[in-house]
Amino acid sequence: MKIAIAGYGLEGKSNYEYWMQHYPNADITIVDEQNYAAEALPDEASAILGEGAFQQLHDFDLVIRTAGLAPYKISTDGKIWSATNEFFEKCPAHIIGVTGSKGKGTTASLIDSILKSAGRKTWLVGNIGQPSLDVLSEIQPDDIVVYELSSFQLWDLERSPQTAIVTIIEPDHLDVHVDFDDYIAAKSNITKHQTAGNAAFYYPGNAYSQQIAEAGNGSQVAPYINATGVHVLGNSFYNGEQEICSVAALQIPGQHNIENACAAISAALLVDGVDNDAIEKGLSAFHGLPHRLHFVKEVNEVKYFDDSIATTPGSAIAALKAFDQPKVIILGGSFKGSDFMELAREIPTHDVQVLLIGDEASRISESLDAVEFTHYEVIEDPTMTRIVGRAHEIAHPGSVVLLSPAAASFGLFKNYADRGEQFIAAVEALPV
């Protein structure tokens, strides 16, 4: 059997190790359009590298694509497969899958925290950063898997999780997907293969979220915030008429995170052993993920927040709404097909100054001009030190500075994590 490992990043390396271990008699080849040095590859590994590599796979029986590699970029007469497909086929445990354009990582993490507080053995895997195949052999039937699923992982998924959560959906990754319909079709695989007895939850008021939740045949399809289920009344979370716990148990700021908590509670309540006490403890134990509206430091009465994961306009809007104080927000980066008009209409409703960076600075400025908002400036040759330095100059005591770019990071930074780490370093270096 000839197997191609298509893409050799973090997931690709995990794929290579998994298939080498489980298919010892197979002929396995690493395939990537990047030219890796020999020392970067396993000893004596076969490889096809360089431009056009993914078009040279006609002699392979199985092509294991890494998540970010679009199936349409692979030319083969063999079967295209993925780590996600392999995991879903082999996993013995119940899977709770979470997807959305924003909030999926936080929601998945909150579910994991609640279930751990209830004494359940859980595995948090997927887009969150833990390759699922690395832990597959350790998972037992009574465990619970919480799987954060990107559109790339869902692209060709042939099975759906028993419980699915779809957070807010907006146009995203249109630099990779053929169009928005392709993006929606990929997301829909989270419920498409559900069967009777499965459950799907969607964000109320978001038509795309509801459309995706209703794409399958799960016996329970419902909004995850509703009066008969989980909702907030006053300062408490409720399940129907039963009070669960105070909203103050949630340790991360913003209305959007209260909504993420409602989604997490909705999924967790389907698991045996989850009670109000476990929910409260689980919410309290989770203090946020790196680069997700994460407090960095207060300098001269100005608070700095790293929200580098906010690569969509909707995420930046949520960050703006999370604070009542005056704000400086850093927007821009590389193109991924976003429409910035909704963000532009939101910005004038806040006391905010905007710093624009990267290739998307011109498109964002055009949207701001269209709504006659003028309190913005473009940072030329934007190193993070220069960006944070300018934010430091214009921020007034009592305000917050948000790195919430509403755009991808490439061109200026390696990825969103690199962008966030550079922001943290620049803030730490500010004079006090």
**What does each C-alpha distance from 407 to 102, 206, 313, 316, 331 come to in angstroms?**
13, 21, 7, 9, 7
Give the closest residue to 214 by CA, choosing from 202, 205, 230: 202
> In the prediction, which pLDDT does 337 show?
87
Contact 388, 314 (CB under 8 A): no
> In the prediction, which pLDDT does 363 show?
97
Orientation angle between helical segments 104-117 and 276-285, nearest 10 degrees: 130
Tell how many helices (H) and how many strands (E) occur in the chain. Answer: 13, 20
Q: How far apart are CA 287 and CA 280, in angstroms?
A: 13
Residues 252-289 pLDDT 10s: 999 999 999 999 999 999 999 999 999 999 999 999 98
> In the prediction, which pLDDT does 229 show?
97
What pTM does this model have? 0.89
Residue 151 carries which side chain, given as an amino acid letter?
Answer: S
User: What is the signed CA dihedral for 131, 412, 52, 184, rounded to 10 degrees?
Assistant: 60
> In the prediction, which pLDDT does 215 show?
95
> In the prediction, which pLDDT does 432 show?
85
> In the prediction, which pLDDT does 395 show?
98
> In the prediction, which pLDDT does 219 show?
87
Apex 423 CA angle, 386 and 299, nearest 5: 85
Q: Which domains, and CATH codes, for the chain?
A: 2-77 (3.40.50.720), 85-285 (3.40.1190.10), 294-428 (3.90.190.20)
Q: How far apart are CA 274 and CA 119, in angstroms?
A: 9
Which residues of the chain fall short of a pLDDT of 50? none
